[in-house]
Structure 1
Amino acid sequence: MKIYVFYRLFTVAAITAVVLAPVYGQHAGQLQGVVKDRQTGQVIEGVTASLRESQQRAKSDGNGVFVFDALPFGEYTIQLSSIGYSTRTLNPILISASKRTADLGEVFLDAVQNKLDEVVITPDPPMVEFGADTITFNASQSMMAEGSAASDMLKSVPMVDVDIDGNPTIAGMLNTRIFINGKPADFTAETIADLMNVLPADMIAKVEVVTNPDVRYAADGDGIINIVLKKGIKLGLTGSASVTAGTLNNYNGSTYVAYRGDSLSINTGYGYRYGTRVTTAAVSRRNFSAGEDTPNSFIDQWSADRNHQQGHNLNTSIDWDATSNQNLTVMANVNATNQTSLADMDDYRLNAEGVQREFRTQRNDRGVKGLNYKINAQYTAKLRGKNERLEAGLVAFSNSRQQDRAILREIERANGTEVDPFNQYMGNLIGNNRLEMNIDYRRSVGQWSTVSFGAQGSFASNDNNQSVTVYDYALGMDAVNAALSNRFRYRETIYATYASYQLRTQTRWSFRAGLRAEGTYLTLTERLDEHADIRPYVNFFPNLSINKVVAKKHRFGLSYSMRLMRPREHMLNPLINDTNPANVSFGNPGLRPAFSHRYQLSYGVATKQWSFTPRLSYAATGDLIERFRISADSVTFLNLASRNELTLNLVGSYKQGKNLTLNWGALISRVDYHSPAALVEHRTGWNRRGNIGASFSLPKRISAECRITYTDRMLSQGRRRSTATADFGVRKAFLNNRLLVRLMATDPFTDQNTMEYIDGITASGATYFQENDRVLRTRNYRLGLSYRFMNAGTSKRGL
């Protein structure tokens, strides 16, 4: 049955590709040139020529000649690099109907000596680049990326929010996927936070924020944050080492080494992080009976949590050009984390008159150990030299996680009734495994268009085994709590096919139409004897976009896409967490996926000095998955409501010479929540977000950078009060740019305070009003040191 549906989906995609691909008889354009040594005038063999727009590469032959055939009309940027020579970039290069062949003639490269004494400074790309559906943040241009973790660096990326646990999301979107080098990395909610908190930002080349993903990517998620790791910035050997220490008892250390030859690139990085997080929280809740305006009870809680976390990350990648037409890339990542936390809580229970009837004190001692493995492999082949490309990829992921928690709770009642202390232990063993495979084919059809289609398979499993014991004071021994001890296993299989057609015209119009089909199979098992096969479902996801470039600097775009949000494993998991007796939580295996329709109108203008990109989008989401309080003390996930959101997103940059760069963004959205089942009140409100960042170049090799972010967000059952965060840094370069010393400050004026107001209704019709006031100690001053080196070996080619 599964294979039959897979073949049926693949047939649909293939037929779509054929229908969408008109046949053109003309040939596309050609780009060629001859590479020579500027000093000797001799040709250079084996120079790597790379096209930034299409990611194609070619090698110069024995006569120094390189050639690109069958290039669609448009503008191109070419980069030439070889061991022993400075890299050279040429742009713009135009290929059109009136100029089908772009002959660069003789292109000269400058020889460099073998040296370790100085880091050579080359022209830098802008910190932020804007495309029709993508914003690119070049991490190497940000001081905040040096000696920090990925979660810290991502706070500088336009349109990206990072929560206090280190999870990044695209501002204005409900569900964001995290990719590394174009492959999924967010297989579980816990492991992506672990990875982002320890992955060295020194290894990151750029971050791509994709607001309208192509159909070749899974339909799950409104947008993608793709983290692209470095591959060696120059031919030869490069590397860096960084250490950072902060006043919050936090330390970072990382090393990165890359070797890049004519056909082989090897990159290895290691990161270590130790940090302490101190949080205090106050919760005040008033409970109301159905239809009543007077509270029937009150709950007040105060808590303090001190969390210690250390992590290790090792990442290695190999990029090999087996021939001029074949490439193999393999990346392996290992991430280990170890957390311990100690939390104390005072819990006051009051009756309707506000008189205390019960007081509880509780101490939670928690430990988490996790280990993740991930391997990516991708093979790329250029076929017959007609811009025809075949790609095959594989991703294997494995995660093991052990959670231990001990609770000691003592209760005092106003009536004097004695209650034995509550002493509980919980152990949870979690395993996650996933295998993904894909095959993609793309080729030019005539001089104007490109067609692509492919197939993908994803096979995932999740196993949670929870054991809970409670000390029985009457028996004087631990007893198994059968109500809380459970095992939950989850299997997910997804088959997908897609087809896409792109057309570019000589008048700078571009069109893209794509269709993706996904078939999903789920199996849930609880307590070994309860088995449920969810009925398979098949969905189709169209994607359409139109773009127009005017006068080379104005870009207009219009797009539509259909996306979905599948319930993640922690949302489905029915295992009960009773750490907080006023907030007992568990998942819901009956959740349905939420589907959304997104429309976006964009405009972008860019000059050498400034850029401005406004985007107006509308998203309609049904069966939205959110937390819901089903009783006074119990919380779960439900397909809660429909959500419509109209968003205006503004992003811009300004550059004053080489000394000042400004990047800024603003978001305002109108949100409408509506529940057909009346589980939440119909409510509307506004979300607001703003950020500004500046970098300065000062005399004596001193540079400075700052950023400020403001957020104010509406919730489905309340509102989160506005918050602001700030980061400042200054850097001084020594030893011919090899040694960098940084002094940075995070939230120097105040700690991060999050206030939420929740006005909700329970499944029984009872209502409540709750205020959550959480303070995270974020005021931190850090000192960092980085050492960089480059060894460009002398090539014998062309001498």
Structure 2
Amino acid sequence: MFLPSTSALLKKNYSLIFFFTVLISLKGFAQNNNGSVSGKISDPTTGEMIDFAGVAIFMQGSDDIIRSNTSSNGGIFKLTGLPYGKYGLRISYIGFEKQVVDDIEITAEHPDAYLGIIKLKKNSSSLNEVTISEKKAAVEFGADQITYNVSQSLQSEGSTATDILKNVPMVNVDINGNATIAGKRSTRIFIDGKPSDYMTSNIADLLNVLPSEAIEKIEVMTNPPVKYSADGEGIINIVLKKGYKVGLNGTLSLNGGTLGNYNINSYVAYRTKSLSLTSSYAFGESERSSTGSSLSDNFLADTNYYRNQYSSNNGLNFGHNIRESVNWDIDTTQNLRLTTNFNINKSNGASASDYYYLDENNIETSLRNQNNNNHNHSFNYVFDADYTWKIPGGDQLEASATYSGNSANTDRLAQSYTLDANGLPINGILPLNQTYGVYAAGRALQVKVDYDKPLGKSKNTADFGLSANIRTSDNNQVVQDFNFANQMYLQDLQLTNQFIYNEHIYGGYASLSIRTQKKWSFRIGGRSELTDINFNVSSLPDQYHIKPYINLFPNLSINKTFSNYTIGISYSGRIVRPSPNSLNPQVITNASNPNISFGNPNLAPAYTQQVDFSFSLFGKNWAFYPRIGIANTSHIIERITTPISSLAYQSTYDNLGTSSYNTINLYGNYHVAKKINVSGGATVGRIAYHSNNNSALNRNGITFQSKAGIQIDMPKQLAFESNLNYYTNSSAQGRSKGSLSSSFAIRKSVYKNKVRIRLTAINPTGQGSSTTFTQGQTFNRQDYYMQNNRNYSLSVSYNFTKVGRNTASKKQKKDVPPPEVSL
């Protein structure tokens, strides 16, 4: 068992009981005499729901508008805070006739009037005209958030989340598939507002198989609101599709490339008036191959020596991802969404390394050869329930619970031998034949309650919430060495042990948002979190129990909107807690044995104070978004490498001291013509480290990231897209040399846009590579890594839509929403 028993939860986690008390009590006091009018707006021809339609309500017999709003989230509109009486509703949208619904009565017995689905009528003057509609912007810039609308990218079909993230502004994806926000030292990945590190043992594996067809948008939060966890300096939130179109619709895509990579992606959604079912499945297979080198200079008081390592590896990865979701509108005010996700990954690989040891005169003294065979398997599952209650008067209650589990098994066989300069065995050094296995499992429970309350008739709101995050992980490491004398494997007691980690984090927040008529907006909030962590290692006698600590994280934001530009400033306090891997004192032998790594159980959290200045300037065909970020971090956590002998290095983690990180972000886009759009920008940062304990770590560095892209809509249903990315980074012990990647894609749509064929070229002019320079007090090292990722792929996708039909009826039953209204 990885989770505490029910009795233990009740004794210790009092906040869980409080959540459900809040749920029950809120419904009792939130009722009032205010009424509401709601419904949905659709296109009569296609059946698709219409967003951004203007909706206004007025008293019967008067033209004075009382409330107004626009439809959103699948044509939904709702006007609240209405006194009892008779009303009329006016709806307007470009290309359609203005529609009016009369005789809407709100009473104490029936305070909520649901009008069903309202079908607009085409404007007769435009029936014979060709309508050209503006495409939704691919990138939307806000004061503290960047939104990337996936559907506007050519890679929105037949790709994965990793492919999409590579083109998102201010996001960098390294050669191993890990995504980070430019200018942030620590980034967390969320899926539908939930932290993904609680859902999977390896987020890079999940993103590499999550189909792009299932993704609606990606939100890059540089200053996350207080409703989200305070851990990490920024959040990348992947928002999945919910299935808003009425009827049956979906996508099936096949993708194959010259690297031996294949993807099968499918997404299906079915929606009735009150029920939505979505399902997605993805299978991915990919081959990988890479080469690398590590050249080190080691200088001691009395001598110098050198070690040069050359390696190669290859492997094969398989992955499956299945996601099922049910979205039920219980009535006009309540919604329930149930979601499950299953992810399976397997990989096999082999690597070979040669280590050349040279003396101070660069003369070879010995050679070590090592071969590794690896087998990895992981399984992740998530069960998620979300409940939303739209309370009359505009208040809204959201409650969610997520239970997840994961397992990951790694098996490796390492064999090595050491020879002298003449190629002969060295006396006293036996060959190594070692089996290494790590069998890890984890489970997590997350519970959240959020309450949003409008303040009067203005757009001001107050938000409150509580959360509990509980997770447990079990990491069992088993190492066996072959005994050549006895001709059998014996367990290595120094390396074999079990690491069990328990984490409980409880949070609460409050936030106030104010908007003035002069287009000022203010947000002030605070979040408090209680952290309780304990862990133990089987080979050590005592359990590590970190004293529970409470933190308060303020969050402030001020923005002003003018006619063609906006300005803003934000401040937030953030925390970076040590990860289980960085705390785990288990000694881990790397694939590049004899190097070792281990965690530091004495790590303290890192705290960051960050200020961002934002400025948005836009014209008719262009927009420019400069930002300045200032971040100061105390107790910064970094990985430190040091030599432990003439043969090996060790890596561990430490709280180095403080760092300051100042960045300038410049991004923009320009519509050269109606069907040509270019975008791009760069992030330049300067980081400075200061350590009182180790003056060698007092250094400065520059980070740089740039992106450029172009999209062209061509005649005959052709489209072209190209993206270029460049990235370089710095750390406390060195820096990385710049890495350049590129992609080019052309797409042809046929059969009335139902079939799309796409040709893509990834890095056609070079391979993906990275060079890292590391400096210590007694060594310098240069690591070079090149991955074979030049790839040419063909993708074919099929889109289908079957619009549902509903019979109109004017008869309205008590407590049952009326059917759709056709005007």
For normalisation by structure 2, the TM-score amounts to: 0.84
Structure 1 residue 628 corresponds to structure 2 residue 621? no
Say whether the 8 Å CA contact 1:48–1:262 is kept in structure 2.
Answer: no
State the partner residue of 1:486: 497
State the partner residue of 1:166: 177
Render the CA deviation track for 1:238-286: whole Å, top value 9, x for unaligned: 1111111111111111111011222211110000110011110010111
Of 609, 612, 623, the residue aligned with 1:597 is: 609
Separation in 2, partners of 1:204, 1:690:
24
- Is 697-706 or 636-645 further displaced after alignment? 636-645
Of 407, 414, 418, the residue aligned with 1:407 is: 414
Per-residue deviation, 1:733: 1.0
Structure 1 residue 749 corresponds to structure 2 residue 786? no
Of 522, 529, 535, the residue aligned with 1:518 is: 529
Say whether the 8 Å CA contact 2:405–2:443 is kept in structure 1.
Answer: yes
Render the CA deviation track for 1:681-718: whole Å, top value 9, x for unaligned: 31112211111011111111111100001112222211
Change (3 A) 1:172 1:36: closer
Of 546, 567, 570, the residue aligned with 2:578 is: 567
State the partner residue of 2:629: 617
> The residue matched to 1:446 in structure 2 has which SS?
coil
State the partner residue of 1:262: 273
State the partner residue of 2:112: none
Say whether the 8 Å CA contact 2:743–2:763 is kept in structure 1.
Answer: yes
State the partner residue of 2:512: 501
Per-residue deviation, 1:561: 0.1
Structure 1 residue 693 corresponds to structure 2 residue 709? yes
Say whether the 8 Å CA contact 2:503–2:531 is kept in structure 1.
Answer: yes
Structure 1 residue 439 corresponds to structure 2 residue 449? yes
Change (3 A) 1:36 1:461: closer
> The residue matched to 1:359 in structure 2 has which SS?
strand
Per-residue deviation, 1:351: 2.2
> The residue matched to 1:125 in structure 2 has which SS?
coil
Q: What is the one-letter code of the residue matched to 1:286?
A: D
Say whether the 8 Å CA contact 1:337–1:370 is kept in structure 2.
Answer: yes
Change (3 A) 1:301 1:260: same
> The residue matched to 1:503 in structure 2 has which SS?
strand
State the partner residue of 1:320: 328
Q: What is the one-letter code of the residue matched to 2:430?
A: D
- Is 651-660 or 465-474 further displaced after alignment? 651-660
Separation in 1, partners of 2:655, 2:215:
37
Per-residue deviation, 1:175: 1.1
Separation in 2, partners of 1:158, 1:592:
32
State the partner residue of 1:115: none
Change (3 A) 1:80 1:396: closer
Per-residue deviation, 1:295: 5.6
State the partner residue of 2:309: 301
Of 71, 75, 89, the residue aligned with 1:78 is: 71
Separation in 1, partners of 2:529, 2:262:
44
Q: What is the one-letter code of the residue matched to 2:403?
A: A
Change (3 A) 1:31 1:51: farther
Structure 1 residue 210 corresponds to structure 2 residue 221? yes
Change (3 A) 1:590 1:402: same
> The residue matched to 1:570 in structure 2 has which SS?
helix
Render the CA deviation track for 1:707-730: whole Å, top value 9, x for unaligned: 001112222211111121100011
State the partner residue of 1:355: 363
State the partner residue of 1:583: 595
State the partner residue of 1:456: 467
Separation in 1, partners of 2:44, 2:185:
54
Separation in 2, partners of 1:260, 1:197:
28
Q: For residues 139-154 of structure 1, what are the structure 2 equivalents within 5 Å?
A: 139-154=150-165
> The residue matched to 1:202 in structure 2 has which SS?
helix
Separation in 2, partners of 1:38, 1:742:
32
Of 237, 258, 272, the residue aligned with 2:283 is: 272
Separation in 1, partners of 2:332, 2:168:
35
Say whether the 8 Å CA contact 1:694–1:705 is kept in structure 2.
Answer: yes
Structure 1 residue 537 corresponds to structure 2 residue 553? no
Say whether the 8 Å CA contact 1:251–1:275 is kept in structure 2.
Answer: yes
Render the CA deviation track for 1:347-374: whole Å, top value 9, x for unaligned: 1112223222211110010111000001
Per-residue deviation, 1:52: 10
Change (3 A) 1:476 1:80: closer
Separation in 1, partners of 2:154, 2:476:
43
Per-residue deviation, 1:674: 1.2
Change (3 A) 1:456 1:679: farther
- Is 158-167 or 603-612 further displaced after alignment? 603-612
Per-residue deviation, 1:7: 7.7
State the partner residue of 2:188: 177
Say whether the 8 Å CA contact 1:30–1:70 is kept in structure 2.
Answer: no
Q: What is the one-letter code of the residue matched to 1:613?
A: Y
Change (3 A) 1:603 1:127: same
Q: What is the one-letter code of the residue matched to 1:391?
A: E
Q: For residues 661-680 of structure 1, what are the structure 2 equivalents within 5 Å?
A: 661-678=677-694, 680=696
Q: What is the one-letter code of the residue matched to 1:412?
A: L
Gapped regions of structure 2 (runs ≥ 5): 1-7, 19-32, 79-87, 93-97, 100-118, 124-130, 809-820
Structure 1 residue 429 corresponds to structure 2 residue 427? no
Per-residue deviation, 1:427: 1.2
Separation in 1, partners of 2:13, 2:560:
36
> The residue matched to 1:156 in structure 2 has which SS?
coil
Per-residue deviation, 1:202: 1.4
Render the CA deviation track for 1:222-244: whole Å, top value 9, x for unaligned: 11111111122521111111111
Per-residue deviation, 1:145: 2.6
- Is 734-743 or 677-686 further displaced after alignment? 677-686
Separation in 2, partners of 1:181, 1:620:
29
Separation in 2, partners of 1:671, 1:726:
27
Separation in 2, partners of 1:301, 1:34:
65
Render the CA deviation track for 1:545-573: whole Å, top value 9, x for unaligned: 1111112x422111000001111121112
Change (3 A) 1:217 1:126: same
Separation in 2, partners of 1:177, 1:186:
8
> The residue matched to 2:151 in structure 1 has which SS?
helix
Say whether the 8 Å CA contact 2:769–2:784 is kept in structure 1.
Answer: yes
Separation in 2, partners of 1:59, 1:786:
40
Say whether the 8 Å CA contact 1:69–1:386 is kept in structure 2.
Answer: no
Per-residue deviation, 1:29: 13
Of 351, 366, 375, the residue aligned with 2:374 is: 366
State the partner residue of 2:806: 795
> The residue matched to 1:796 in structure 2 has which SS?
coil
Say whether the 8 Å CA contact 2:480–2:489 is kept in structure 1.
Answer: yes
State the partner residue of 2:111: none
Taking only aligned residues, the RMSD between alpha carbons, in angstroms, comes to: 3.3
Render the CA deviation track for 1:727-764: whole Å, top value 9, x for unaligned: 00111111111111111000000101211111123xxx
Separation in 2, partners of 1:557, 1:679:
38
Say whether the 8 Å CA contact 1:436–1:458 is kept in structure 2.
Answer: yes
Separation in 2, partners of 1:187, 1:541:
22
| Highest RCO, 1 vs 2 (Cα 8 Å, sep ≥ 6) | 1
Separation in 2, partners of 1:52, 1:493:
45
Separation in 1, partners of 2:799, 2:147:
24
Separation in 2, partners of 1:164, 1:452:
40
Render the CA deviation track for 1:369-412: whole Å, top value 9, x for unaligned: 000001221101012x2110111111111001111010000111
Per-residue deviation, 1:315: 0.7
Say whether the 8 Å CA contact 2:49–2:246 is kept in structure 1.
Answer: no
